[in-house]
Amino acid sequence: MKMENALGDAGQNMQDAIEALRRELATIRTGRASPSLIEHLRVDYYGTTTPLNQLASILAPEARLLLVQPWDKGALASIEKAILKSDLGLNPVNDGNAIRLPIPELTEERRRELVRVVRRRVEEGRVELRNIRRQAFEELRERELSEDEMKRASQKLQRLTDSFIAEMEGIGGDKERELLEV
């Protein structure tokens, strides 16, 4: 029972790492418009830094267009400024009621650069998984398990880690294919 708690905690932490990678990769722009591309942007709204998705609805009415409709028209300028300051390379068009964000076609060079970013983030995720494994192993060591129990637990932990690393690499591979798709 002692070993199952440590393995369960490690599995949950690894699942959290996978979800964090998914969220992070969703912010990397492909050629298509997706609200997840900008919903994480932080906007200075009357002196408070607020996520964009809490200030406006974000729609993708066309394949290459995002439409940001703030609930408070007074936030338009702040939203526009936050989009310009981001490293997304998007040029907002403010019509007084909403902000239109045309998504330009990605160049081959930019696609390759984004693939390198994806690979780096996946590698950071693998490092995080290995750190979680190491922490779980230390926890198991502290629980005074028999030698056989320790060996079984470490094998289970390694299999768990390997499965999450494979899942993470699959997510990264999918994002790379999406980026290289013309």
Q: What is the pLDDT of residue 161?
A: 93
Q: Which domain holds residue 112?
A: 2-27+107-180
Residue that finishes a domain, picked among 85, 102, 119: 102
- Given 58, 73, 102, which residue is the final one in a domain? 102
Indicate which CATH number applies to the domain containing 149.
1.10.132.20
CA 111-85-97 angle, 5° bins:
105
pLDDT given for residue 12 in this prediction:
92
Q: What is the CATH number of the domain that holds 39?
A: 3.30.1360.40
- Please check whether residues 43 and 90 belong to one and the same domain: yes
pLDDT tens digits for range 51-68 = 888 888 888 888 788 898
Contact of 37 with 27, CB cutoff 8 Å: yes
